[in-house]
Amino acid sequence: MLGRTAVTRGSLSVADEVGLYLELYRRMVLIRQFEDLVNALFLQGQVHGTTHLCSGQEAVAVGVTSVLDPADRVAGTYRGHGHALALGLDPQRLLDELLGRETGICAGRAGSMNVVDLEHGLMGCFGIVGGSIAAATGAGLALRGTGNVAVAFFGDGATNQGYFFECLNFAKVMNLPVVYVCENNGYGEYTPFTAVTAGSIIARPLAMEIPSQTLDGNDLWVVRAAARQAVETARRGDGPSFIEALTYRFVGHSRSDPGKYRPEGELDRWRLKDPLAVGRRRLVEEHRVPESEVESIVEDVRTELDRVRQKGLAAPFPKPDASAREFKDG
Ligand SMILES: Cc1ncc(C[n+]2csc(CCOP(=O)(O)OP(=O)(O)O)c2C)c(N)n1
Ligand SMILES: [Mg+2]
């Protein structure tokens, strides 16, 4: 049975292990349905800017954040709706942000790619590939000795950026409390990561003697266990760790991408490993949760998001501020 402290984080507070996993499963369902909603609203011209959806990658965000405290710091990516919701950000405030409304978490000025929510530990979602790596490393420097940790989420493509090497080296040498979480979804935009990556990703942190593991990123239980180990290492003052979570995005890179570059059958194969299906199976078969209870989670989230959608579309737009007018005028 997990301790109470291990299961309390922001709005996440439950009494026992089954309750915990039901709540974590609910968060994965919330992320999936939220992304479906964003997609629909984008097609209706309601979402400003572009969107990068994380459908299929939910278990990584939810598993890792499930072992964090509110004073820990997280840097997400432009594919960051899942990171924000996993941390407990109110879906209403996130959707309002995407719709460019005053009631959004950043008052409608950040949009999809740049969400910040310090209350829940989210330092930002970074549009620069690998920007999260640098931000979390800096946060790790600030958090050194406090018992809190910084987490960087980033893609496989980001591991070919120069600062990936610089930051990991710096974190190891300075013994920083950072957990690096690579969401390896097999592609950087439209290019398979194998076509642009020499050797393996995991060999890179291992060469710096950073404790590292490659794991099934579609299994919430597996991700959570590895994240707990990595976070405990950092809290103890034993330096950075690295997780390579193998996963897949069920959708294109961004809204303009139908994903035609994927080999035939690849998407179907990954769909068999859908994190929601894996989670449902574990809940029903291992934790003896009735199917009907799992189904009611899915229905409850649907009802909640329907309300969120209606309220979001009725929310006010921000008024242009004086400085913006001044800039425009002259
Ligand atoms: C520094 C930088 N270079 C290029 C881009 C353009 N770009 C946006 S997303 C992306 C692919 C990144 O792939 P990956 O790191 O695997 O993350 P994923 O999109 O798969 O989650 C690229 C090249 C960018 N945003 N920033
Ligand atoms: Mg990728």
At 9, give phi and psi (nearest 5°): -160, 110
The predicted structure's pLDDT at residue 48? 86
Q: Is the CB of 134 under 6 A from ligand 1?
A: no
Contact predicate 279/60, CB 8 Å: no
CA of 155 from ligand 2 middle (Å) equals 5
Fold designation for 15-254+261-317: Rossmann fold (3.40.50)
Contact predicate 77/68, CB 8 Å: no
Q: Is the CB of 155 under 6 A from ligand 1?
A: yes
Tokens 């879906």 sit on residue: 91
Q: Is the CB of 157 under 6 A from ligand 1?
A: yes
Domain boundaries, the chain: 15-254+261-317
The predicted structure's pLDDT at residue 49? 87
- In this structure, the residue with its CA closest to atom 25 of ligand 1 is 128
- Ligand 1, from 53, 189, 246: best to mutate by most atoms within 8 Å of Cβ? 189
CA of 129 from ligand 2 middle (Å) equals 10
CA of 188 from ligand 1 middle (Å) equals 6
* Helix ranges restricted to H, the chain: 17-43, 58-65, 81-86, 91-98, 131-143, 162-173, 203-207, 220-235, 266-271, 275-281, 291-314, 322-329
- Supply the angle between the helices 17-43 and 58-65 in degrees, to the nearest 10: 140
Q: Is the CB of 188 under 6 A from ligand 1?
A: yes
Whole-angstrom distance, CA of residue 202 vs CA of residue 213: 7
CA of 181 from ligand 2 middle (Å) equals 12
The DSSP call for residue 14 is -
Q: Is the CB of 80 under 6 A from ligand 1?
A: no
Q: Is the CB of 217 under 6 A from ligand 1?
A: no
**What does the pLDDT profile of the chain (330 residues) look like in tens digits?**
333 334 445 445 566 889 999 999 999 999 999 999 999 999 999 998 889 999 999 999 999 999 999 999 999 999 999 999 999 999 999 999 999 999 999 999 999 999 999 999 999 999 999 999 999 999 999 999 999 999 999 999 999 999 999 999 999 999 999 999 999 999 999 999 999 999 999 999 999 999 999 999 999 999 999 999 999 999 999 999 999 999 999 999 998 788 999 999 999 999 999 999 999 999 999 999 999 999 999 999 999 999 999 999 999 999 887 655 555 544
Q: Kindly tell me the sign of the dihedral angle through the C-alpha atoms of 317, 319, 320, 321.
A: negative
Contact predicate 240/168, CB 8 Å: yes
CA of 289 from ligand 2 middle (Å) equals 34
The predicted structure's pLDDT at residue 4? 32
Q: What SS3 state is found at 272?
A: coil
The predicted structure's pLDDT at residue 16? 83
At 39, give phi and psi (nearest 5°): -60, -45
In ligand 1, which atom is closest to the CA atom of 57?
21
- Ligand 1, from 129, 185, 247: best to mutate by most atoms within 8 Å of Cβ? 129
- How far, in Å, are 17, 38, 214 from residue 279 at the CA level? 14, 23, 19
The residues facing 180 across adjacent strands are 152, 242
